[in-house]
Structure 1
Amino acid sequence: MIDHLALQVADVAASEAFYTRVFAPLDVRTVMRYDGPQGLVVGLAGPERFPRLWLGALVDGGVRPVHLALQAHSRADVDAVYALAREAGAEILHEPRVWAEYHAGYYGTFFRDPDGNNVEAVHHTWHAS
Structure 2
Amino acid sequence: MFDHVKFGVTDYEASKAFFLKALAPLGVTLLSEGLPSYGVEIGSKGGATLCLFQTQEKPAHLHLAFRAETRQQVDDFYRAALSAGGKDHGAPGLRPQYHANYYAAFVIGPDGHNIEAVCNEPVT
TM-score computed with the length of structure 2 as normaliser? 0.89
Cα separation, 1, equivalents of 2:104 and 2:74:
6
* TM-aligned CA deviation for residue 50 of structure 1: 4.7
* 2:86 aligned with 1:86: no
- Greater relative contact order structure (CA < 8 Å, 6+ sep): 2
* TM-aligned CA deviation for residue 59 of structure 1: 5.0
Number of residue pairs matched? 123
Runs of 4+ aligned structure 1 residues displaced above 6 Å come to: none
Cα separation, 2, equivalents of 1:60 and 1:13:
16
Cα separation, 2, equivalents of 1:109 and 1:66:
16
Residue matched to 2:109: 113
CA contact (8 A) 2:18 2:86 kept: no
Superposed CA offset, 1:89-124 (max 9, x none): 321010001111111111000011111100001111
User: What secondary structure is seen at the aligned counterpart in 2 of 1:44?
Assistant: strand
Residue matched to 1:65: 61
* 2:81 aligned with 1:54: no
Residue matched to 2:2: 2
The runs of 5 or more residues in structure 1 that have no matched partner are: none
The runs of 5 or more residues in structure 2 that have no matched partner are: none
Superposed CA offset, 1:2-49 (max 9, x none): 12111210122211111111111101111011127xx25100112x34
CA contact (8 A) 1:12 1:40 kept: no
User: What secondary structure is seen at the aligned counterpart in 2 of 1:89?
Assistant: coil
Residue range with higher mean Cα deviation, 70-79 or 6-15: 6-15
Residue matched to 2:21: 21
Cα separation, 1, equivalents of 2:92 and 2:116:
10
* TM-aligned CA deviation for residue 86 of structure 1: 2.2
Change (3 A) 1:2 1:111: same
Let me know the Cα RMSD of the aligned residues: 1.9
